Amino acid sequence: MPLHVPPAPAPALRSVLTALGSPTAVSEARTPSLRAAQGPTTPELPLPVHVLDELTPAGMSTTRLAGWRFLIRCGERAVAAAETRLTPDGWAFSHFFEGPYIASTERALRQAETLTQPYQPRLLSFPGLYMLTLWLHGDSTADAATGHPDPADVLIPLAPAPPGIASHVPHRVADLLPVLTLRATPAPLPPLPPLPPLLGSPA
C-alpha cells in the first residue's frame, strides 16, 4: 500500500534547497558522504519529526513538532539528511547529518509500503529512551504537524534501538507503549538501612 507522505512546508523545503546550493553550507557540514557526492543531490521524503517528552504509567505527554527531516538523495541512495526547525521568522534550515538512521529510515519506509493499510509516515522521537521510530499514523489525511499516537497506529523502531527493543519490528502503539512505559519509569529506590546509634547513647 503506498504511503501518503505529507507535503512539507514550502519554506522548509526552500531552506534545504538553498543550503544544498551553498558550497559553504555543504563544505561545513559534518557529512563526508554529502561532501563527496558526485552528481546532483535532491531532498526527498519529507517527514515531520515529533517528540514525546514524557512517558509515564499515567500515559503519554502530548507530542510536539520539532522539525521536518528530508533525506538527501544522490543517485540511487540517500547520502545524508537535512533537518529544518521552526523559528520566530518561520521554517529555517538547521543542519545536515548522516549516520545509521539514514539507511534505517529508508528500510522502515520500505517495510511500511508492504502493509495493507494506508498510513501517513512520521518520525517519533523518545528522548528519554534514546529511541527514534517511524510512526505510521492511521489517518493518512491528517495535518502532519499535529496529532497524537493512536492505539492502532504502528511504530517501527529504527536502528540502533535501545537494548531489548528489536529494530525494524512493527508494533501497534497499544502493544509497544506498555514496554516503553516500563523502561521510562525509574525503579523505586530501596529503603535506606536504619542509622546506627549515636556514640554514647543507649543501644
Sign of the CA dihedral running 57, 142, 18, 109: positive
Say how far apart CA 111 and CA 168 lie, in whole Å.
8
pLDDT tens, position by position, 41-79: 999 999 999 998 877 665 666 789 999 999 999 988 899
pTM given for the model: 0.86
pLDDT tens, position by position, 120-138: 999 999 988 899 999 999 9
Say how far apart CA 118 and CA 46 lie, in whole Å.
17
Say how far apart CA 69 and CA 82 lie, in whole Å.
6
